[in-house]
A and B are shown apart, each in its own frame.
Chain A
Amino acid sequence: MAKSIDVSDVNIYYSDFLAVQGVNMTIRAGAVTAFIGPSGCGKSTFLRSLNRMHEVIPGARVEGKIVVDGQDLYESSVDPVAVRRQVGMVFQRPNPFPTMSIFDNVLAGLKLNSGKMKKSEAEAVVEKSLRGANLWNEVKDRLNKPGMGLSGGQQQRLCIARAIAVEPQVLLMDEPCSALDPISTSAIEDLIHELKNDYTIVIVTHNMQQAARVSDDTGFFNLKATGEPGRLVEFNPTKKMFANPDDPATEAYISGRFG
């Protein structure tokens, strides 16, 4: 189910403003890839371009090739809606649908996309997804309560359950723990470890320890200079990145000398 992503010569624009320039990398299947870097360097922008969420913003566009499973996502015949079904996303702030119960929130993707499904089937999907997101034991007795009634960490895990319920090949996470307390953060990190068996996971984080803990590969993004576009400075296995990085700028950032 997991798929690798090949990125070549990607430039990302907001109208005329070039936000990210010349990114090349290969994101391995079934591994966790982390993006680190200072704020405003284009990590999230790049992440959003991996499932064509970037173009939701008016005027935003992407140049270059992003190939998943042999298919360039930015070919003109590709339907962005179909891309997003293959490449799921979890956002910085938990955003369960306020009109829906926990049960319906998990099923939202399936129900919105394919319409009706059998009750037994639906229940199986909900249990599987909630177990997958480590939330089942906490909510199994109140599946019909609104999703907004959960705590922040539970809401974020509900959003992860919602994202994996549609069984994507890749799961993108945009700072999924930045609004959460340490206990919820550790629950989500454990979850990422479990999920990487079935999904290719890409995570943006500001927390260097988190990148070191959860990821197999790490990409370091930085601005060339103020006002210049962001770029990928270094992309290496996480162990090498944190022990012996190729680029002095990476070392400076990781050891806390800037950023």
Chain B
Amino acid sequence: MTMLQESPDRVHISLIQPRLPQFAALIIAGIAAALGLLLLVLGTGLVPAVLIGALVFLVALPLWSFFIEGRRGATDRLMTSLIWTTFFIALVPLVSLLWRVIAKGAGRIDGTFLSYSFFKTQIDQPVGIYHAIIGTLLVTLGAAVISVPIGVMAAIYLVEYGKKNKLAKAITFLVDVMTGIPSIVAGLFAFALFTLIFGPAYVSGFGGSVALSLLMIPIVVRATEEMLRLVPDDLREAAYALGTPKWKTIVKIVVPTSLGGILTGITLATSRVIGETAPLLLIAGATDRTNMNLFDGAMTTLPVLIYGQNLRGDEAAEAIAWGAAFVLILIVMVLNLVARIVGKIFAPKKN
């Protein structure tokens, strides 16, 4: 102790430093918000008012901190506020989109909207989007039925059998390329394929499923691959050491251990392709009637219906488009919720 005090080169650093009051950020935020409101009342637009408010907050807080807490405190405050600001900027489109769709779409939803199609048998019959809901569900289900076995098995090959050999590397590269395929190209591929097989002017929901599965397979492969890689090799070795053949180890140990993650990945891939429009316009066509047959005749899906109604542009059509958008978002949200619940249920339990 005495040594320490006697040493002349040691700088005494106090542990107590001046700090801004606990609610400094909130106070500045309040002042910035008040300033923004004042500008709004004075007649500047909403966007300049918010921008100026945010700028005031971003400048004032670090400045105040600089004079009281010093440079390190100021940098900390600046970076923290920047991160919060970008977070709110990222939230703006999401919230405003949800708000618009709910505000404009929710009111259009009623029993007839969900249970009638566009096809009228009487002049005064109400119209609905039943045919498009059925179309979306069938086409997406078809895409999932094609993509899930192919995607999951390709991932199993890559992780369990390929072990970085040339074929596995080539597949990984092709999967990466496939991830970047524009959806319209997938639609053209399906269109060309079915035209070659069945002749010109062929349309069916199944063609749409094939196009969507092209977009879905790489996502499923990627997600499943990640999940399978997370399974520790210890478990595989434990199973081998019990005299379990490799295929049984994969089916009974590796896949069940990662099942929750795989199912989540599949559901997220499904909700990613459920909103595709362009490829379905090409190959699945559009119709006013409810088509229950995936393999024959045009089939309207929700995104295509929204696109079509938007083109027409009259008020009734626009309302239908918003209502359909609301239903589509609802379906995606339900899918995501299901993915979470399923992931929880199948996740390995601790206790």
Contacts and interface: CB of A to CB of B under 8 A. Distances in A.
B173 to A, nearest CB: 20
A56 B237 CA distance: 8
Given A97-B253, A146-B349, A146-B350, A88 B242 contact: yes
A95 B237 CA distance: 9
B243 A81 contact: yes
A84 B239 CA distance: 10
Interface stretch (B142-150, B244-252, B335-343): B244-252
Contact of B257 (A89, A93, A99, A163): A99
Contacts of B163: 58
B124 interface: no
Contacts of B308: none
Nearest to B231: A98
Interface in A155-182: 159, 162-163, 166
A98 B163 CA distance: 24
Contacts of B241: 51, 53, 84, 88-89, 91, 163
A163 B243 CA distance: 10
Interface string B293-306: 00000000000000
A149 interface: yes
Q: List the 8 shortest-distance A-B pairs measured between CB atoms, nearest first.
A: A85-B243, A98-B348, A109-B242, A89-B241, A95-B234, A84-B243, A149-B351, A112-B244
A145 B351 contact: yes
A85 to B, nearest CB: 3
Contacts of A83: 243
A109 to B, nearest CB: 4
B235 interface: yes
A82 interface: yes
Contact of B242 (A99, A108, A146): A108
Interface string A97-126: 111000000001100110000000000000
A98 B235 CA distance: 9
A143 interface: no
17 contacts: A53-B240, A53-B241, A58-B163, A81-B243, A84-B240, A85-B243, A91-B238, A91-B241, A99-B253, A99-B257, A108-B239, A109-B242, A112-B244, A113-B243, A148-B350, A149-B349, A162-B242
Contacts of A93: 234
Interface string B238-280: 1111111100110011001101000000000000000000000
Interface of A: 51, 53, 56, 58, 81-86, 88-89, 91, 93, 95-99, 108-109, 112-113, 145-146, 148-149, 159, 162-163, 166
B256 A56 contact: no
Contacts of B235: 95, 97-98
Given A97-B257, A99-B256, A112-B252, A56 B350 contact: no
Given A58-B163, A93-B234, A99-B256, A149 B240 contact: no
Contacts, number: 84
A149 B350 CA distance: 5
A91 B240 contact: no
A95 B231 CA distance: 12
A109 B240 contact: no
B199 interface: no
Contacts of B8: none
Contacts of B234: 91, 93, 95
A112 B242 contact: yes
A97 B234 CA distance: 10
A58 B163 CA distance: 8
A53 B237 contact: yes
B232 interface: yes
Nearest to A83: B243
Contacts of A162: 238, 242
A61 B295 CA distance: 53
Nearest to B234: A95
Contact of B348 (A56, A88, A112, A148): A148
Nearest to B232: A95
Contacts of A108: 239, 242
B347 to A, nearest CB: 9
Contacts of A145: 351
A109 B245 CA distance: 11
A57 B163 CA distance: 10
Contact of A97 (B238, B240, B245): B238
A148 B349 contact: yes
Contacts of B232: 95
Nearest to B256: A99
Contacts of B256: 99
A162 B163 CA distance: 28
B350 A112 contact: no
Contacts of A98: 235, 257, 348-349
A58 to B, nearest CB: 5
B108 to A, nearest CB: 45
Contacts of B253: 97, 99, 112
A202 to B, nearest CB: 13
A148 B350 CA distance: 6
A169 to B, nearest CB: 12
Given A58-B163, A112-B248, A163 B242 contact: yes
Nearest to B255: A99
Given A58-B163, A98-B348, A148-B348, A113 B238 contact: no
Q: Which of B234, B241, B243 has the most CB of A within 10 A?
A: B241
Contacts of A88: 241-242
A86 B253 CA distance: 21
